[in-house]
Amino acid sequence: MITLENISHKFEIGKKGKKTIIPVLNDVSLHVRKEEIVTIVGRSGSGKSTLLNIISGFIHPTEGKITIDGTDVTTFNEAKFADFRLEHLGFIFQSFQLIPSMTAFQNVELPLILKGVPEKERIEKTNNMLETVGIKDFADHYPSELSGGQQQRVSIARALIVNPPIILADEPTGSLDSETEEDILNFIKKLNSELGITFLIITHDERVAQIGHRTLEIADGKLVKEAALV
């Protein structure tokens, strides 16, 4: 589902003639199989978030090749990758990234609007998805009126609404208490086992890492260890 071949990336800072090159990723190769949960762990600054942004198409790698769901996306421009994301990738963020002026229903419905789905179909799909994640009773609530766990469920519903085969998650439980974290992790495992969704999860939390079929460790921009967990 996701294949990275010899991915390297560096940032340049400073003015012309006084630029400093900062290497972030160095020759990273990995393969995430269909219906697999892969977790990537590493310290702050290790390169794991940059890696996720490259897979998401928000950053173009300096070197290497990226294939997602059978498509070589390495040379996609911003507009083409945006269209590709809408069809193939869902996202779960630590800070939820919900639009505060929109209700839970409207936040989940938004990707369907962007895809041009007719209103009647949007309403049906959004209601069904809110029921799937267990928050249909909170459809008319704004993010500020929801608990952290409820907001994350809205975020997950929004990620799922277009039926993406792959979900990318960046510290998906980082803003949650331990009890709510356990609830969300169990829900992710359920989505994987029952719907066959592939997950790539970035985390520094050992409890989150443990839900993966495999865990990868990244340090100083390199993958340094891989171990089967389940």
Are residue 108 and residue 12 in the same domain, yes or no?
no
* pLDDT recorded at residue 18: 76
In the chain, the amino acid numbered 121 is E
> In angstroms, rounded to a whole number, what is the distance separating the alpha carbons of residues 30 and 194?
25
The total number of structural domains in the chain stands at 2
* pLDDT recorded at residue 224: 85
Are residue 27 and residue 107 in the same domain, yes or no?
no
Helix (H, G, I), strand (E, B) or coil at 159: helix
In a domain, 16, yes or no: yes
In a domain, 157, yes or no: yes
pLDDT interval class at 152 (50, 70, 90): confident
In a domain, 223, yes or no: no
Are residue 20 and residue 115 in the same domain, yes or no?
no
Are residue 2 and residue 100 in the same domain, yes or no?
no
User: Is the CB of residue 55 less than 8 Å from the CB of residue 4?
Assistant: yes
Are residue 80 and residue 8 in the same domain, yes or no?
no
Question: What's this model's pTM, rounded to 2 decimal places?
Answer: 0.85
pLDDT in tens, 8-53: 999 888 777 677 888 899 999 999 999 999 999 988 888 888 999 9
* pLDDT recorded at residue 86: 87
Are residue 7 and residue 41 in the same domain, yes or no?
no
Q: Which helix (H) or strand (E) holds 87?
A: helix 78-88
C-alpha dihedral (155, 127, 129, 148), degrees to nearest 10: 30
Q: Is the pLDDT of residue 4 over 60?
A: yes
* pLDDT recorded at residue 20: 81
Q: Tell me the mean pLDDT in the region 83-100.
A: 88
pLDDT in tens, 129-142: 999 888 999 999 99
Are residue 17 and residue 39 in the same domain, yes or no?
no
* pLDDT recorded at residue 202: 92
> In angstroms, rounded to a whole number, what is the distance separating the alpha carbons of residues 186 and 180?
10
In a domain, 210, yes or no: no
Phi then psi for residue 10, to 5 deg, are: -140, 150
Residues 6+ apart with CB under 8 A from 59: 9, 50, 53
Instruction: Give residue 110's domain range.
Output: 35-45+76-202
Are residue 131 and residue 157 in the same domain, yes or no?
yes
Q: Is the pLDDT of residue 64 over 80?
A: yes
> In angstroms, rounded to a whole number, what is the distance separating the alpha carbons of residues 47 and 36?
22
Are residue 133 and residue 173 in the same domain, yes or no?
yes
In a domain, 168, yes or no: yes
Q: Is the pLDDT of residue 229 over 70?
A: no
Are residue 184 and residue 91 in the same domain, yes or no?
yes
pLDDT in tens, 103-121: 999 999 999 998 899 999 9
In a domain, 194, yes or no: yes
Are residue 101 and residue 196 in the same domain, yes or no?
yes
In a domain, 113, yes or no: yes
In a domain, 215, yes or no: no
Are residue 5 and residue 39 in the same domain, yes or no?
no
* pLDDT recorded at residue 228: 56
Taking CA atoms, 97 is separated from 13, 29, 65, 81, in Å, by 28, 29, 29, 20
> In angstroms, rounded to a whole number, what is the distance separating the alpha carbons of residues 182 and 208?
9
* pLDDT recorded at residue 227: 58
* pLDDT recorded at residue 77: 92
Q: Residue 40 belongs to a domain with what CATH number?
A: 3.40.50.300
174 DSSP assignment:
T
> In angstroms, rounded to a whole number, what is the distance separating the alpha carbons of residues 154 and 41?
25
pLDDT in tens, 167-217: 999 888 887 788 888 888 888 898 899 989 999 999 988 888 999 999 999
